A and B are shown apart, each in its own frame.
Chain A
Amino acid sequence: MTGSTEWPLWEVFVRSRRGLSHTHAGSLHAPDAEMALRNARDLYTRRNEGVSIWVVPSAEITASSPDEKDSFFEPSADKPYRHPTFYDIPEGVKHL
Chain B
Amino acid sequence: MTPTPTTPAPSATEAAPAATPAPDAPAVHTAALALGDDALVLSHRLGEWAGHAPVLEEEVALANIALDLLGQARVLLSLAGDEDELAYLREERSFRNLQLVEQPNGDFAHTIARQLYFSVYQNLMYGQLAATDSPLAPLAAKAVKEVAYHQDHAEQWTLRLGDGTAESHERMQRGVDALWRFTGEMFAPVAGLDLDREALREQWTATVTAVLQKATLTVPEGPQSGAWTAGAGREGLHTESFGRMLAEMQHLHRSHPGASW
B 114-145 to A, binary, CB cutoff 8 A, 1 in contact else 0: 00000000000000000000000000000000
Tell me if A35 and B60 are in contact (CB < 8 A). Answer: no
- Known contacts A42-B64, A46-B64: A28-B156 contact under CB 8 Å: no
Minimal Cβ-Cβ distance residue in A for B65: A42
Number of interface residues of B (CB under 8 A): 12
Tell me if B64 and A28 are in contact (CB < 8 A). Answer: no
B107 within 8 A of partner (CB)? no
B55 within 8 A of partner (CB)? yes
Give CA–CA (A2, B125) in the complex, Å: 39
Which of A31, A38, A39, A43 is B152 in contact with, Cβ under 8 Å?
A: A38
Tell me if A4 and B55 are in contact (CB < 8 A). Answer: yes
Give CA–CA (A35, B57) in the complex, Å: 10
A92 within 8 A of partner (CB)? no
Tell me if B55 and A38 are in contact (CB < 8 A). Answer: no
Which of A3, A29, A34, A42 is B156 in contact with, Cβ under 8 Å?
A: A34
Query: Which chain A positions have C-beta within 8 A of B57?
Result: 4, 28-30, 39, 42-43
Tell me if B61 and A3 are in contact (CB < 8 A). Answer: no
Which of A29, A34, A46 is B55 in contact with, Cβ under 8 Å?
A: A29
Inter-chain residue pair count (beta carbon < 8 A): 33
B160 within 8 A of partner (CB)? yes
Query: Which chain A positions have C-beta within 8 A of B54?
Result: 3
Whole-angstrom distance between the Cβ of B207 and the nearest chain A Cβ = 19
Minimal Cβ-Cβ distance residue in B for A10: B57
- Known contacts A35-B160, A38-B153, A38-B156: A3-B55 contact under CB 8 Å: yes
A93 within 8 A of partner (CB)? no
A 6-39 to B, binary, CB cutoff 8 A, 1 in contact else 0: 0100000000000000000000111110110011
Minimal Cβ-Cβ distance residue in B for A6: B55
Tell me if B61 and A1 are in contact (CB < 8 A). Answer: no
A 38-58 to B, binary, CB cutoff 8 A, 1 in contact else 0: 110011001000000000000
Query: Which chain B positions have C-beta within 8 A of A34?
Result: 156
Whole-angstrom distance between the Cβ of B209 and the nearest chain A Cβ = 22
Whole-angstrom distance between the Cβ of B134 and the nearest chain A Cβ = 29
7 A-B pairs with C-beta separation under 8 A: A1-B55, A7-B55, A29-B56, A38-B156, A39-B60, A42-B64, A43-B60
- Besides the contacts A4-B56, A30-B57, A42-B60, what 5 more A-B pairs have beta carbons closer than 8 Å? A3-B55, A4-B57, A29-B55, A29-B57, A35-B156
